[in-house]
């Protein structure tokens, strides 16, 4: 068993943030896993909430440090969903706002997949169904895991979410010493 959980890490620079792998639970109960892959790319997997089961790799994002140890990340998705996240990793907190088009609220199951392999489906759905009124979800989250995955590690988010995955990661049963997946 390898213990990667670095909940005591102190974040100061942008470089401290890039390459970090997080799991957090929003106050509304939604559990998300998210990886700062590099200075313009994010991967994530959704374990609980309206679109649990969805996962995405290589999403382009804007990532900046606002002041020492506080980071802002924002992007727009092929579904038309917009996301703005503020990370306060030294306080184990995130504040996220998700702006869902109406169609994702009405048909969440369309988005619950490995999006990268179904971009055509997302593009068709965003044309076919309603965008407005948007569903705005502003929530604080509590970070339950932080790991140093290193940048551009394609094994961090590399399979579909399953029920025990967050617990397996937190227990140190998912990655080896080089932050590669143990079970392929
Ligand atoms: C819709 C994606 C998304 C990813 C991470 C997060 O914390 C909120 C939304």
Q: What is the ipTM of this complex?
A: 0.99
| CATH numbers and ranges of domains, the chain | 14-165 (2.40.128.20)
Nearest residue to 87 (alpha-carbon basis) of 166, 142, 31? 142
Which portions of the chain are predicted below pLDDT 50?
none
Contact 47, 32 (CB under 8 A): yes
- Which of 42, 87, 96 has most ligand 1 atoms within 8 Å of CB, for mutation? 96
Residue 32 annotated in active site: yes
Is the CB of 83 within 6 Å of ligand 1? yes
Does residue 104 contact residue 155 with C-beta atoms inside 8 Å?
no
What is the full DSSP assignment across 73-134?
Answer: EEEE-TTS-EEEEEEEGGGTEEEEEEEE-HHHHH-GGGG-SBGGG-HHHHHHHHHHS---S-
| Model pLDDT, residue 5 | 87
Contacts of 45 (CB under 8 A, 6+ apart): 32, 33, 54, 55, 56, 157, 160, 161, 165
Angle at 6 between CA 74 and CA 94, to 5 degrees: 30
User: SS3 helix, strand, coil % of the chain, rounded to 5?
Assistant: 20, 40, 40
pLDDT score of 2: 65
Whole-number pLDDT of residue 1: 54
Catalytic residue among 31, 35, 44, 77: 77
Q: Is the CB of 32 under 6 A from ligand 1?
A: yes
For the segment 150-173, what is each residue's pLDDT rounded down to a tens digit? 999 999 999 999 999 999 999 999
Q: Is 81 in the pocket of ligand 1 (CB under 6 A)?
A: yes
pLDDT of residue 4: 81
**CB half-sphere exposure, 28, CA atoms < 13 A:** 12
- Mean of the per-residue pLDDT values for the chain? 97
Rg (CA), the chain: 16
Residue nearest to atom 4 of ligand 1 (CA): 44
44 is annotated as an active-site residue: no
């Amino acid at each position: 068993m390898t213990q990667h959980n670095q909940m005591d890490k102190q974040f100061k620079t942008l470089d401290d943030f890039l390459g970090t792998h997080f799991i957090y639970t929003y106050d509304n109960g939604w559990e998300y896993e998210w990886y700062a892959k590099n200075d313009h790319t994010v991967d994530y997997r959704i374990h609980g909430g309206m679109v649990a089961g969805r996962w995405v790799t290589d999403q382009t994002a804007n990532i900046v440090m606002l002041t020492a140890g506080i980071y802002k990340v924002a992007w727009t998705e092929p579904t038309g969903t917009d996301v703005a996240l503020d990370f306060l990793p030294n306080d184990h907190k995130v504040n996220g706002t998700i702006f869902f088009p109406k169609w994702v609220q009405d048909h969440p199951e369309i988005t619950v997949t490995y999006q990268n392999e179904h971009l055509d489906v997302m593009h068709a759905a965003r044309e076919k169904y309603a965008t407005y009124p948007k569903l705005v979800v502003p929530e604080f989250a509590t970070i339950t895991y932080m790991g140093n995955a290193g940048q551009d590690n394609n094994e961090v988010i590399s399979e579909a979410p399953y029920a025990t995955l967050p617990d397996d990661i937190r227990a140190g049963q998912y990655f080896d010493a080089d932050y590669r997946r143990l079970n392929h």
